[in-house]
Structure 1
């Protein structure tokens, strides 16, 4: 999530009174037991490495199972030269690499559309065939014979999110209605269509590794905030999602504020609806206390800065339904006839089959409703239940997992939405509670099922849940009811293909130590002493927590954990810079994160605390495992807090791979299966980037100097493997 939202999202809606951490029960597990438990999993890894997927169609290409981990492809050290910190309005990569701008805001994905032009801004309707704004989460799907093929690198579909409008004036003509009480229809249509998802057909030259967009492809399409999307799972047809759009509660219009992402082992894309609240205005007349509590818990404001509901002189009203962005009860109308429930139709995980051009995407309601930042599947191991791990990106919110009732069958690769029905509509949703026993110095946790059958939920005194669908629609309230642990803005999730461990970025929390007491899972409260500002306090630089399921099984109800990395400036106090970061790898506010199939962890930042010294960045890491570090003392105001830390990584295991242009967030990362092209998104850059990017490396045909969000593809000049210098050098050494 960007720090530059056009909506005040600072206030805390979590008033549940749940214990921060210290009041949780102490489990009797020794440090020796913790180490023993985290060293396991060899059987699961051995099983995983023997599996490959296949399709029922004998003519289809072999699909590599997502659980397969090849130790020989993981370098023992990182050998590329670390990129220096800088504040340039430029995109910087290591020596021997080059970065090409591939796809920028406004770029067409159809052959009959003109290039973007600052002085001749195209119509709002044309953005159904143009790049949206604020590129974010992203996945590459290899394609062969017009079907998903996890081994294919020369051709595929690049699918990416467009989160929000960072500066509306940058996408509109000079004469616009931004900030006015009544919005112009074309401006609103442009903004609605600039949200959502892009699906772009790309081809890569196997010799030069140059990537280009095939604008003539029938696979190119946009899914926007006005695209019809079906409901599936327990909430489908429930009274709380019935609106004038779909009186039966079977579908909604659009997906919005798409931030992080995920992908399924059967070859579909998962987009996450994060801060959907900022698009709505609300009126509270005739609302029940339960409705008002739900609206407040999900931070639905009185007035939205977008003001999409204010359009007059409507020509395209049937297609866009502007009135749905004002949620209220209409006099003498039922829920099926007004938009009192319109906010409930957002905040879901949306499945998109990029290969099914004529089918509607699906909102998978069994995975709960909240500010979804990311959604990552567990390793796909035949005969084991799939799990999906998720974070709720807001201060003091929770970490979740959904466990499918169905065990993975590799024959479901290329199963499309039918496979989604099978694995994502039926299962159990859990929320995490973390514990640290100071006496035994053991870090454990438990998954609590969010079920209407849980007495803590059924008898919750602040909100009376009607049924399981209500639990899923009001997932945050259900998490409150069971006493889940409040975290420092859980954002992206990554699953280590080597051992199945789950990593979650906790970006920051300026209120840690004030409205939120520190605890072992969120242990730091400190000032940025060299910033010259006393406003930078709390958990300023964020951290990455990781956990390992008991027995390495997705159905486990218990886990062990530690803090993998603490963001910090290299010159911070030792009890702030607990990870021993240096100038080659210090960072702040971890956000985007992804394990490539080799086991390299890519970490991206969305920062406002360290940007006086460096722009946002992406680092590469070679992690160990939970329990490989020690118990340390973190600065907590004038005291310290004990916390389990991961092993200190020197710059051979953690180093800076790139920095983005000034003003930007670096987000979204994916790679071709041959590891020779890596894609990264630059969100809301400043200055004039990318028009000032080297012309020979700018594949966007856009004209003008407005800063534009864009996708960048990075390759090595010698055509080699990204971050592969370590094992390439090892291979040349004499035996």
Structure 2
């Protein structure tokens, strides 16, 4: 709109019929206009909003008494409609004179933060809104003599939606993201985290992994750090601490010519390198003025937590007889954490890392069961078997075969869980109890490099995947949701005994706050009923079957043998419960069920489980590369639940299935039940995370990210990451599923959400042979951290099958692949994904 105040002789037919003695408006305008012309000498303003497809309107707000000049014009244009999370640019122009100052101010609508508000060009991130909403902004210019003129701009902001075109499936050896996004590599296997350490050679000759990035980057969290200082700043999106897991290793690439042994004995240096490449990294990261991210190699915050790092046990199992070893005779301490997969973070700025497939690292010789039985520890045999540590295991990577240079070193021998007949039956003379020291949630204070991580035994012992806290409400006891990642295992939640107090978020004694919320409370396991309802079953000693009559002797005993206790309660076996994520607006919990080759129509063995309402598929999944079809529930699915009364303290819930993984070309009746198409078909969902409530991706209708760890769909595409706006529990309907496997048929009715359609879209495809896992963002949502795990994992130094990340921007033949953390940003500076 344009108004020309010099055209004051214009008569629009509004004839004066007010016969009072008041002065006519035209006289006042003429007088005021003349005075402004004299005082000011001329100022005009133009305000323009440029973004998406926003609808704008401009008007002259000429309400100043100090004078103005003729020729004042205001105009506004539109190039479309703004959407949540996108950058809006406001441009004001002063003409017909000079201004001593200019400023932008918001006058109505959902509050936003204006950047460069005292300049002609200001920007803001469009907020998340439930329905299209007008935001109004005023641009004001002031002359040297305090005369002012202003213009108003209205921006119509739309509801959140996915803001990118789907990335095609790909078998290429690069990370692919949508147009308008940029990928940069931040932190790679072997990168030094101490100023004195040389760069990584990536040829198998490097050592000292206690001061280098570990391998197999996995779960991850970003913690904002004060701009200058050492305390948390939850709003800082340019300086922070990145904490990430190193789940496992690609052994072949760590050594010059692959791993070696002599007469079955591993070299000490090789084994030490492999051990130290596991664990956790804490690194300081910063965003430069050019928008690029880097890590600070010499930061005092940098730290590696490895399987050799001192740990302290806390909670009900602390000091229990089953935790006593030759290293810790009183069962209160241990060494290290291993096979750390998914993660979590707390409102008090600590990191939760979770021990997943730890059992495979242990050796257990034949005859061990008899020694334990003779020592009065026969119950341990059932537990060891239930957790997968059978007699005859040699242990991953042969670490127990090392003969250390220091005769008193036990860092290799500790992985041998075989009981020695001539040593004390309580385990204090050997490492028969070492397996019971693993399988826990471990809390780390990223801001205190000298602190000792704490194993939180109240949260149970299992193949821990995620440990995701639900919404925190003052006065309500918070809940932490967890999966046990193995076929036919269970979903759990822990409800703290202490109600949440918001002041605890800013306490400097972060691990003491963890003691308050994580050491006492109730651990529950989920039962999913066919009705779409579910129950949380308490794992409490003395309640139900958890009594001495059934072999349970204490609450510590229940927690150390969590799987056995959950079996006794009748929990629902699930298709490999992996990551958990909580919608920050609704409080609904999502859990990825990655796949299950032991899901059957008619079980043929004790390890198989029949299809049920929560796990309704068992089929043959065909492949196009000539390999045999995958069996069971090969593509996995995502289940979600809503607590009764929307409270974390609930003991019942409703549930449905958000989406079934499948290739879009597969049978829509028995496999592709969610109607996926080429833009969103996926298999084996794994990583899962919601955008943060501190930015539009976690507000109103939050954005959910889903990552894959796939072996069934890799004939068509490398592993991927998708973005979704997932709806709510109950937004679909009952769905009939017909499973066919080995000539058997079973029909099950399940509760399914609405077909994802355009609200689920592929955002990223990774390089060859990788897994996409680990995700977090800065508080503003404008930088997204993602981990690429084990690219080229099927190769070796003589047959390198991936050159990533060296080849992300240019060809890099001969370069060994490295697990790495990447950063994804929008080229226009908006919130990633929206």
TM above 0.5, yes or no, is yes
- Seen in structure 2, the aligned counterparts of structure 1 residues 316 and 187 have a Cα distance that, compared at 3 Å, is farther
Q: CA deviation at 1:570?
A: 0.7
2:631 to 537, 546, 552: 537
> Which residue of structure 2 lines up, in the alignment, with residue 185 of structure 1?
268
> Which residue of structure 1 lines up, in the alignment, with residue 775 of structure 2?
669
> Which residue of structure 2 lines up, in the alignment, with residue 49 of structure 1?
none
Q: CA deviation at 1:535?
A: 3.9
Contact 1:117–1:703 at 8 Å: present in 2 too? no
- Seen in structure 2, the aligned counterparts of structure 1 residues 71 and 423 have a Cα distance that, compared at 3 Å, is farther
Alignment of 1:164-179 (within 5 A): 164-165=248-249, 167-174=250-257, 176-177=259-260
Deviation digits for residues 365-394 of structure 1 (CA, Å, limit 9, x no counterpart): 000000001110011111110110000000
> Which residue of structure 1 lines up, in the alignment, with residue 423 of structure 2?
333
Contact 2:204–2:255 at 8 Å: present in 1 too? no
Contact 2:642–2:654 at 8 Å: present in 1 too? yes
Deviation digits for residues 29-57 of structure 1 (CA, Å, limit 9, x no counterpart): xxxxxxxxxxxxxxxxxxxxxxxxxxxxx
Alignment of 1:62-461 (within 5 A): 75-119=159-203, 121-123=205-207, 126-144=208-226, 145-165=229-249, 167-174=250-257, 176-177=259-260, 181-205=264-288, 207-283=289-365, 284=368, 285-288=370-373, 289-301=378-390, 302-315=393-406, 318=409, 321-334=411-424, 335-415=427-507, 416-437=510-531, 443-458=532-547, 461=550
Contact 1:431–1:450 at 8 Å: present in 2 too? yes
Q: Alignment RMSD, CA only?
A: 2.1
Alignment of 1:21-100 (within 5 A): 75-100=159-184
> Which residue of structure 2 lines up, in the alignment, with residue 518 of structure 1?
611
Deviation digits for residues 677-726 of structure 1 (CA, Å, limit 9, x no counterpart): 10111111013332543448x9xxx99611111111111222222123xx
CA distance, structure 1, for counterparts of residue 478 and residue 686 of structure 2 = 24
CA distance, structure 2, for counterparts of residue 672 and residue 70 of structure 1 = 21
> Which residue of structure 2 lines up, in the alignment, with residue 27 of structure 1?
none
2:560 to 473, 480, 491: 473
> Which residue of structure 1 lines up, in the alignment, with residue 679 of structure 2?
584
* Aligned: 1:648 with 2:755: yes
Deviation digits for residues 68-90 of structure 1 (CA, Å, limit 9, x no counterpart): 99869995321211100010011
CA distance, structure 2, for counterparts of residue 132 and residue 602 of structure 1 = 25
Contact 1:691–1:704 at 8 Å: present in 2 too? no
Deviation digits for residues 270-302 of structure 1 (CA, Å, limit 9, x no counterpart): 000001101100131411231111110010142
CA distance, structure 2, for counterparts of residue 226 and residue 414 of structure 1 = 30
* Aligned: 1:713 with 2:823: yes
CA distance, structure 2, for counterparts of residue 179 and residue 620 of structure 1 = 49
Contact 1:391–1:504 at 8 Å: present in 2 too? yes
Deviation digits for residues 342-362 of structure 1 (CA, Å, limit 9, x no counterpart): 000000000001001111000
Contact 1:460–1:481 at 8 Å: present in 2 too? no
Structure index of larger Rg = 2
1:621 to 724, 738, 741: 724
CA distance, structure 1, for counterparts of residue 396 and residue 326 of structure 2 = 23
CA distance, structure 2, for counterparts of residue 414 and residue 371 of structure 1 = 31
Question: Structure 2 length normalisation: TM-score?
Answer: 0.75
CA distance, structure 1, for counterparts of residue 635 and residue 456 of structure 2 = 33
CA distance, structure 2, for counterparts of residue 606 and residue 645 of structure 1 = 23
Moved more, 484-493 or 627-636: 627-636
**Count of aligned pairs:** 641
Contact 2:623–2:712 at 8 Å: present in 1 too? no
Contact 2:623–2:629 at 8 Å: present in 1 too? no
- Seen in structure 2, the aligned counterparts of structure 1 residues 723 and 179 have a Cα distance that, compared at 3 Å, is farther
Contact 1:109–1:220 at 8 Å: present in 2 too? yes
Q: CA deviation at 1:209?
A: 2.2
Contact 2:371–2:420 at 8 Å: present in 1 too? no
Q: CA deviation at 1:91?
A: 0.7
Contact 1:137–1:260 at 8 Å: present in 2 too? yes
* Aligned: 1:497 with 2:580: no
Contact 1:209–1:677 at 8 Å: present in 2 too? no
Contact 1:116–1:703 at 8 Å: present in 2 too? no
Alignment gaps of 5+ in structure 1: 1-67, 438-442, 725-735
* Aligned: 1:681 with 2:787: yes
Contact 2:129–2:159 at 8 Å: present in 1 too? no
Alignment gaps of 5+ in structure 2: 1-126, 132-156, 693-697, 793-800
